[in-house]
Amino acid sequence: MTDPDFHRIAIVGVGLIGGSIAFAVRRMFPDAIVVGVDTDDVVVAARQLGALTHTSTNLEGVRGADLVVLAAPVQANLDVLSSLPDLLGPSTLVTDTGSTKRAIVQAADAFASRLTFVGGHPLAGAARSGIEASRIDLFERRPWVLTPTTASPRAAVSRLAGFIRALGARPLEMEAGEHDRLLAFTSHLPQLTASALMHVVGTTVGVEGLELSGGGLADTTRVAASPARIWTDICTTNTDELLPALDRLIETLTELRADLNDSRPIDRLFESARRWREKLK
């Protein structure tokens, strides 16, 4: 990639995702200017780690960028988005990396005449967060969903898809509503479940009881270590899709409860789960 499509890239929110994008951009496009916008301690750390060429502690840092990536939690991205039309022209491509897509896409559509926006969601993550957890290969071979609307210029979608491929990921177009419905099950419900489980187990057995656990509890609750803030935003912007997802889980657990002493139906559930788990990777 000697002729990158973007020469000045601003990343707003330099945590795990923003930091990993920054590292990957610096490797693929060594001549690009990469501006990180975040609090002072974060951008200083990110620059020392080599993720950024320039830093800013306020949104003025996005001025002049030809690509702006919003990589903060969903609600922060929404707040930032509303300021962008005053800072950028429509030749700048704006995208985000949030885990819910309808809210941001609807907000961006309201600015469509003044802002070129294509929503995005890289399906990559880690139990740890922050710039220190960033990895240059975080997106390699991972799906990266794009959720263009009728307001999104096709040329912008193609440019963004090319950028995402350059980072090693697989761009995948999808309607924002379909994204939110699917991710409610494949990402948000697992997180809610892991957190609810960890809360119940911890508060019931205490620290000494936790000694009596093995890899099962550790694996099942790994994502419960995620920062609360990220997930609170996801819940409030995907409530309608999460309700039926939670309902289905509660229903299944309630059936299991009724069948606990009857080996046939539980065996069926465990077998179904085992077969589906084998289809996962």
147 contacts 174 by C-beta, under 8 angstroms: yes
What is the C-alpha to C-alpha distance for residues 133 and 124, in angstroms, rounded to an integer? 12
Site for a second copy in 113-172 (CB under 8 A): 123-127, 142-143, 145, 172
Residue numbers 229-268 binding a second copy by CB under 8 A: 229, 231-233, 235-236, 239, 242-243, 245-250, 252-254, 256-257, 260-263, 266-267
In the complex, the smallest distance separating the C-beta of residue 177 from a second copy, rounded to whole angstroms, is 14
Binding to a second copy (CB under 8 A) within 175-214 occurs at: 179, 182-183, 185-187, 189-205, 207, 209-214
Amino acid residing at 47: R
User: Least distance (Å) from a second copy to the CB of residue 139?
Assistant: 11
Q: At what angle do helices 102-109 and 74-83 cross, to 10 degrees?
A: 10
* Nearer of residues 37 and 136 to a second copy, judged by Cβ: 136
**What is the nearest approach in angstroms of a second copy to the Cβ of residue 69?**
18
Nearer to a second copy, 88 or 245 (CB): 245
Residue 63: φ, ψ to 5°: -55, 135
Can you tell me whether residue 262 is helix, strand or coil?
coil
Give the integer Cα–Cα distance in Å for 51 and 30.
11
Distance, in Å, from the CA atom of 117 to the CA atom of 224, rounded to the nearest integer, reads 32
Separation between Cα atoms, residue 133 and residue 11, nearest integer Å: 17
Q: How many residues bind a second copy (CB under 8 A)?
A: 92
Rounded to a whole number of angstroms, the distance between the first and last alpha carbons of the chain is: 30
> Per CB under 8 A, which of residues 88..107 are in contact with a second copy?
none
Least separation, in Å, of the C-beta of 16 and a second copy? Answer: 12
Residue with Cβ nearer a second copy (87 or 104): 104
Least spacing, CB of residue 222 vs a second copy, in Å: 4
